[in-house]
Structure 1
């Protein structure tokens, strides 16, 4: 009787395991199908109108026909400027919280604030940037205003993911370094940070994805000037803002080639960043 019960329980467990795997496969396939459907529609409708000159020329006239070269420059300009601001601040704060601050009311408040900011809609950041950077500080619609606003948006992601990566470094690494006579700072700089570099790289990838694909906050702070920005106080129009302008002014067919460029840039960046992180992981961790 007992063996039958055990056999029945084992059979039921196997069926439940198979059912769980089937559900997981179905959900994964459904997600992949939706992604391929979106990419396929963009490629099918965008590639026929795509030419190489589209990447090297500027839009012309009131119909905004032509290329997206100034938008590509503005997008990368804004992204790099934002990362130069948020990278040191986010990683520095993560090191302090994970290695020096301990667990107290202040650190818990900082983590709570970061988690709360991560869920704030981007348009709220845009309105803050408009009121504070554009008007209060007199920066106007510029790359700098947009970069500072986007840095605030990306800071929670950079901070929390980097902190978790630093905390994931085994304590034995720290103890071994300190046991050899290294100082606390030397241990952090030479042992902890190189070991956490793949996770910090992941934080940078996530932050870059949010910055590069942002529209609302950029529209309120960097403006929509179609020229090539040369200085931080110059305004500019990113690819996402240009795509929004085309789609909302009745030029839907013109927006698909822009979407193709945006898609290729994001995929290329993610693949390249993943490759670099794998190389760093093999170099510093293995």
Structure 2
């Protein structure tokens, strides 16, 4: 494999880890557009570059999700009964979402991803927080919410924090605990998503070497190895840097990357 490409994967993992630590995100918003661009440059099958980007991003989130989960658990910031109740819906929704994503062509997937990232960016800019109005629902309610979160997470390769945290805050869960619980929920999302994309890409022909299903493992290993170490650095920076300004800059970055992905997908 091209050593320059490996360097790009390592750099992408390092940057993603820092932003993950700063903002508590899985990193798909950064990884998917950049991976799509890199895969196109490598002349990977055009019809599958976005599927591979989503799958590879989801698999790379797994180690980061484990590290984040452990850190929040040590601070007693995870509501494990809620995680257990929401997990079945998360697993089903994410797994089903990979089938939907694999069925769709790159163009509608790129449009949905870009629109969703624009929504995330807008939320970061206005910093709007949902008003708590009720308590956590029962098993059926949590599983249903988990299914919806899982489907969208599979389509845009996010750890789920963008959706899970506002939902938990809306249910009168304090923000630190909501973030910690969301981190725990991010692991089944990443695992189920990665497995789903592997299954859906299993019989696809023409995929590059070192690919299992739609997951391109050299990128996963390189990105995960870096993000695992840089995520704690991002968490430390979060306590020293002006987060409101950083959120606005990060929102602009998400919009720019999403636009670049649209150009990459529709320009080929």
TM-score (norm 2): 0.29
Higher RCO, 1 vs 2 (CA within 8 Å, ≥6 residues apart): 2
Instruction: State the structure with more CA Rg.
Output: 1
TM-score (norm 1): 0.28
